[in-house]
Amino acid sequence: MSSDERNVLGEPLEPCSTAPETGFLRDGNCHHLDRDPGRHEVCAAMTQTFLEYSREQGNDLITPRPEFDFPGLHPGDRWCVCLPRWIEAREADCAPPVVLEATSEGVLDELSVDELRAHEYEP
């Protein structure tokens, strides 16, 4: 990760989660990477509603997949969600809360800081 990578607040990007390990690179960070077509840039706190929605859309984040070293997610876990999926979930009124400090500033090409703040994670 480059040390100058920023979050949506313009500050240094903070890690999203290392347990479970998330991100396109599985390094715990929601990087903006040209080689990541899914855009795993939104750090979100999982909710049961979002996990079920994602499974209905064909992306099962609940079921453990040991062959991919994936433990399965539970409500409260933090995960780098694909930007297009987060936007879809918002439109379906089930977007998970966003951890602004760990969300890549790259998402600002699709969303405003105000839109993200409206869904800000409150620990």
20 within 8 A of 43, measured Cβ to Cβ: no
pLDDT, mean over the chain: 95
Range 43-51 average pLDDT: 98
Residue-wise pLDDT for 63-122, tens only, equals 999 998 899 999 999 999 999 999 999 999 999 999 999 999 999 999 999 999 999 999
Q: Which of 106, 92, 98, 105 has its CA nearest to residue 35? A: 106
Q: Which of 14, 92, 80 has its CA nearest to residue 44? A: 80
The reported pLDDT for the residue numbered 1 is: 46
Residue-wise pLDDT for 21-36, tens only, equals 999 999 999 999 999 9
For the entire predicted model, the pTM comes to 0.94
Position 3 confidence tier, pLDDT thresholds 50, 70, 90:
low
